[in-house]
Structure 1
Amino acid sequence: MAKEFAKAFYHSKQWRDCRTAYIAHRKSMDGGMCESCGQVPGYIVHHKEELTPDNINDPHISLDFWNLKYDCHICHNKEGKGEEIPGLVELQFDSEGNPILPPSDS
């Protein structure tokens, strides 16, 4: 969830346009796969260098592709929190893009 100081930025047209362009860029490179694990499609664009009240108005930090990363939900949470989410299962996909369901515990 966005920190209070960053909420206006993440709702801005500049960020939405940048995010859309970055996802299109990643899709043109590798189909939009997670930049960390490369196993599943990306889910969220985030900043490698975290935004702060001091750098959020610097477009070189907040809007430049060098500082963006397109990760799946699991990798994003691992990177941001340094831990896995209990109970969250990483999905795998077959050659046709269909999810491969994990075995049930029953």
Structure 2
Amino acid sequence: MKDYAKKFYKSKAWKKCRTSYFASKYGLCERCAGPGKIVHHVKYITPENITDPNITLNHGNLELLCQDCHNKEHHERYNATAYGLMFDINGDLVRK
């Protein structure tokens, strides 16, 4: 968690919003239907928008994800290849 967001994620408003959103999705990951764990902001929270409830507390900007899907969301953008692809030992692009 980024320092600028710590106060927000500990707030009563966020905890209430998170709980209600989690319940509205029956606790299931919206991408893989596994057990949900993290209520993710689709439009990422930044220092500029953290006080905007249309971004931070709006169910329309939330998505319930399992840990794996949340990790893919945040870490795949740093991969050199698209999801499901990799380079083999010869340097050729292949499917995983």
Runs of 4 or more off by more than 3 Å in structure 1? none
Partner residue of 2:49 out of 35, 49, 55: 55
| Amino acid in structure 1 at the alignment position of 2:18 | R
Partners of 2:41 and 2:8 in 1: how far apart? 13
For 2:31, what is the secondary structure of its paired residue? Answer: coil
The aligned residue for residue 73 of structure 1 is 67
Partners of 1:5 and 1:34 in 2: how far apart? 27
**RMSD over aligned Cα atoms:** 1.1
TM-score under structure 2 normalisation? 0.77
| C-alpha deviation, 1:17, in angstroms | 0.4
| C-alpha deviation, 1:45, in angstroms | 0.6
Q: Determine which structure has more spread, i.e. the larger CA radius of gyration.
A: 2
For 1:82, what is the secondary structure of its paired residue? Answer: helix
* 1:6 aligns to 2:1 (yes or no): no
Residue by residue over 1:3-49, the C-alpha shift from the partner in whole angstroms, topping out at 9 and shown as x without a partner, is: 0000000000000000001011111xxxx2111112x1101111000
Q: Percent identical across equivalent pairs?
A: 51
Unmatched segments (≥5 aa) in structure 1 = 84-106
* 1:36 aligns to 2:35 (yes or no): no
For 2:39, what is the secondary structure of its paired residue? Answer: strand
TM-score under structure 1 normalisation? 0.70
Unmatched segments (≥5 aa) in structure 2 = 78-96
